[in-house]
Amino acid sequence: YNQLSQHLRGLHKVLNEAAQRDALQACKRRKILEDLASLRASNPEEPMVSTLDLEEAQDFLDVAQAPAEEEECGNPRCKEKVKKLQDQVADLNQQIDTLTDSLKIVSRRYHLLRRRSLPTPSSQVTRVTRKLLSALGSPGEKEGEGPEQSVAEPEEEPEEVEGPGPSKKAHSGTTAYPFPDHVPALS
């Protein structure tokens, strides 16, 4: 079928892609029906289930008996005009095919670029996490480490109210830890 499709593309330029595809499908169908008919004629031991070749043979005979296309005019001007119009049709069909292919390529590229421009869920989670950590500050961080700190808004240490209960300040540093004094901290 590859040779047939090349033949249709090369020698039948009047046909556009859809007409070429239809002609190729019709040829494939005709070949299948011929193979079914020859198999039926060989009288196989297993009875044939398909009656497609019998039904299609009748339809094919009906189509073959249909009147032929209009006869060509003998006038040379008429023939010249028909040839010119056929060439124009072939040119327009080729332009349609070229534009259709270009549209497919551009659409494919557009969808690919659009897909690439959308953030992936994992990058969104990472970005939101960084934003939250930089806004809150991590309790175990030392100055200058960890998430980016805003230059415009320096971090202020929260004022601690001394009251009954364990102290929330560590003995060695100024950073507040969430554990009481009696729990040793590993730094």
Could you tell me what percent of the chain has a pLDDT over 70?
52
Q: Are residues 21 and 76 both part of a single domain?
A: no
Q: What is the mean pLDDT of residues 52-80?
A: 64
Q: What whole-number distance in Å separates Cα of residue 91 and Cα of residue 93? A: 5
DSSP per-residue letters across 104-133: HHHHHHHHHHHHHHSPPHHHHHHHHHHHHH
pLDDT value of position 71 = 67
Residues 176 and 160 sit within 8 Å (Cβ to Cβ):
yes
Q: Are residues 30 and 46 both part of a single domain?
A: yes
pLDDT category at 55 given cuts 50, 70, 90 is low
For residue 82, tell me if it sits in a domain.
yes
Q: Are residues 47 and 84 both part of a single domain?
A: no
The pair of structure tokens assigned to 165 is 């209960």
Asked whether the CA dihedral 108, 109, 110, 111 is positive or negative, the reply is positive
> If DSSP codes are grouped into helix, strand and coil, which group holds residue 176?
strand
For residue 51, tell me if it sits in a domain.
yes
Q: pLDDT tens digits for 93-149?
A: 888 888 888 999 999 998 888 888 876 667 777 788 888 888 776 555 544 444 444
Q: What whole-number distance in Å separates Cα of residue 171 and Cα of residue 185? A: 10
Q: How many domains does the chain have?
A: 2
Residue type for position 6: Q
pLDDT value of position 84 = 92
Count of Cβ atoms closer than 10 Å to residue 119 Cβ: 10
Q: Are residues 31 and 88 both part of a single domain?
A: no
For residue 39, tell me if it sits in a domain.
yes
Q: Are residues 4 and 61 both part of a single domain?
A: yes
**Domain span including residue 12:** 1-66
